[in-house]
Amino acid sequence: MAKGQQTRATILEAALNLASQMGIEGLSIGALAEVTGMSKSGVFAHFGSREELQISVIREYHERFSAEVFLPAIREERGLPRLRAMFEGWVAMVATEIDSGCIYISGAVEFDDRPGPVRDALAGMVLTWHGALDKAIRMAMDMGHLREDTDPMQMLFEIHGLILSLHHDARFLRSKGAEDRARAAFERVVQFYALGAPSTPSGMVASDAAKAGFASAPLAAV
């Protein structure tokens, strides 16, 4: 790396740490100058504005997410093995962020009602990941691992919901065993969408299962 690139990388590393602790809105040229020991003008020279700094941090986080979660998963066989690896990698990353927080999740809370380039960048990165999950689900359907009538967007919604629950219980409630519960819930979701009638979830009697929509009716009827 050239010296300028090294300096920018150092600033981004510090910015990621700040964003994980204080949120994306907590980022400022002044705060980074103080943390890195640089002048405000020196930090400004690498990003030009607070907004560009925030967007750069989102992009950097996305690159790291891709390297830690997506790229290892696509080495697995297509279908359920790959989808399962994507979820497991996601769980593992959330587990490492318990003390800092996921920028995707915290950023969504910060910018859900604030239109603009920062929100667009964050939403774009999340939608890119959703697209990868959607593709993995459709591959699993094509390979016969999931029922033909599986709704990929519904399954994706449920999988993402598990991650949000994991983040909430592990980070906010400090609930032990949250990761294992997320994994168990994922397997239950997979079981529901797998070929054949979905089985009754453990602990639920047959009559309760029927009322809840877990009978052997087609998915469209649930």
Same domain, 42 and 71: no
53 domain-assigned: no
92 domain-assigned: yes
d(C-alpha 207, C-alpha 222), whole Å:
15
Domain span at 154: 61-221
Q: Which long-range contacts (CB under 8 A, 24 or more apart) does 133-137 make?
A: 133/83, 133/86, 133/159, 133/160, 136/73, 136/78, 136/82, 136/83, 136/86, 137/83
Tell me the CA distances in angstroms from 214 to 35, 60, 154, 189, 219, one per residue in order.
54, 42, 16, 12, 9
Same domain, 109 and 42: no
Same domain, 79 and 43: no
Same domain, 134 and 26: no
Same domain, 102 and 186: yes
Q: What is the pLDDT of residues 38-81, one digit of tens each?
A: 999 998 899 889 999 999 999 999 999 999 999 999 999 999 99
Look at residues 160, 186, 44 and name the one whose alpha carbon lies nearest to residue 105. Answer: 160
pLDDT surpasses 60 at 211: no
The total domain count for the chain is 2
Same domain, 77 and 127: yes
Q: What is the pLDDT of residues 122-161, one digit of tens each?
A: 999 999 999 999 999 999 999 999 999 999 999 999 999 9
Same domain, 139 and 169: yes
CB 219 within 8 A of CB 147: yes
DSSP character for 26? G
* C-alpha 160, offset from chain centre: 7
pTM: 0.82
Q: Please return the burial class of 172, using the count of CB atoms within 10 Å of its CB with bins 0-12, 13-18 and 19+.
A: exposed
Residue 73 pLDDT: 97
